[in-house]
Amino acid sequence: MRTGPVRLSRRARAGRRPPDDGRRPLDDGRRLAGTLRRLAWRACYEALGARVREPAWAFMNYGYADVGPGADGSAPGTVAAASDPLVLDPADEPDRSCIRLYAATVAGVDLRGADVLEVGSGRGGGASWLSRYAGPRSTTGLDFSAAAVALATRHRRGPGLRFVRGDALALPFPDASFDAVVSVESSHCYPSVPRFLAEVRRVLRPGGHLLLADLRNHDDVVVLRDQLAGSGLELVELEDVTVHVVAALRQDNARKLALIEAWIPRPVHGAFRVFAGIEGTRNHVGLERGDLRYLRVRLTKPQVSAG
C-alpha cells in the first residue's frame, strides 16, 4: 500500500522528463498523473477513517525498534532487540513501536516552546504524542483526509494540539509560521515532493527544521536525495533506518494480525495485511530484501534564505 496506487515507470523515474523543481507549471500528462495519484490516496485514507472508527487505532506507520549490535536484519531472528530507553505513559505503551518512529524522526532537535506542524497526521497519535512529550508551544496536525481529521479531533488530546484539513502541496498557513515540520510515512503519497518541500520552506521560520521519515523504492532514494538537494533547505542528516523498521515490523507482527482480526472488515483483510506490512507481504519482503528503503531525514531552513 505504501508504494503508491499509481506507479511511475522506471523510464519516467530515470529522468526522461524535466525535473520537477516545485515551481514550474506541470504539463498536462504529469498534472493528470498527479491528480489521479492524489485522488487514489485520498479515497483510500478517507475510506479508512470513515469505515474503521476504532479510537484506539491512533497510528498508521511501520514503527521503529532498536536493534542489538551487529544486527543486519537480513533474515528473521537475526535482529536482537536492544533495551528501548523511551519512557512512556502506560496508556501509550501499546503504540511504543509507532511512537519510537516519531521519536527517531525528531531526535536531536529540541522542540520545547516550538510551533510544530505535522503533515500527514493521519489518526493523530503522533501529533498527540509530540504535544504531550516534546514540550512544543503548539502542535498542528494536517491531513487531506476529512475523516482522519475528524477522528483525530474527536479522540486525541494534548496541550496546544489541533488538527486541520489541508494538502501537503498547498499548506494553508502564512509564511514563516512554524519552527518545525514533521512528516512520518506520508510523503510517498505526494504527487510532487519538490512542491511539498517548497511549501515546507515557505512555512518554516529561518533556522526551522523539516523532520521526515518515509520509505522509497531502492532506485528512488537517489531521486529523493536530488529533491532534497534542490529544496533550498540544508540537509543536516539522512539516515537509512530500514533495519530498525524491519525489526519493528517483526516484533509487532502478531499484535497487528490480532488487531486486523478485531477491527478490520473481513473482505479487506488481505489488502490490509499489505498496508500493515505483515510478514510475507509485499512491502515487508521489499524492506527485508532492500528493494524498499526506509529513510530518516533532517533539513534546516538557512537563517538567510536564498530566496
| Dihedral pair phi/psi, residue 89, rounded to 5° | -60, 145
**Mask of contacts with ligand SAM, 103-132, x by CB under 6 A?**
----------------xxxx--xx------
Residue of 64, 129, 144, 178 interacting with ligand SAM (CB under 6 A): 144
Residue pair 84/66 in contact by the 8 Å Cβ criterion: yes
SS3 88: coil
Least distance (Å) from ligand SAM to the CB of residue 303? 28
Least distance (Å) from ligand SAM to the CB of residue 245? 12
Binding to ligand SAM, residues 213-242 (CB under 6 A): none
Least distance (Å) from ligand SAM to the CB of residue 80? 25
**Binding status of residue 143 toward ligand SAM by CB under 6 A:** yes
**Mask of contacts with ligand SAM, 41-60, x by CB under 6 A?**
x---x-------------xx
Q: Residue 164 corresponds to which cell in the numbers above? A: 486541520
**Mask of contacts with ligand SAM, 175-204, x by CB under 6 A?**
---------xxx--xx--------------
Sequence-ordered alpha helix ranges (H) in the chain:
10-13, 28-51, 96-106, 125-133, 146-155, 193-203, 221-229, 242-251, 253-263, 269-276, 282-289
Element of type H or E holding 209:
strand 204-217
SS3 196: helix
| Residue 22 or 120 with smaller CB distance to ligand SAM | 120
Within a 10 A sphere around the Cβ of 233, how many other Cβ atoms? 25
What is the rounded distance in angstroms from the CA atom of residue 174 to the CA atom of residue 22?
18
Least distance (Å) from ligand SAM to the CB of residue 307? 25
Give me the amino acid identity at 150. A
Least distance (Å) from ligand SAM to the CB of residue 146? 10
Binding positions for ligand SAM, rule: CB under 6 A: 38, 41, 45, 59-61, 119-122, 125-126, 143-145, 148, 167-169, 184-186, 189-190
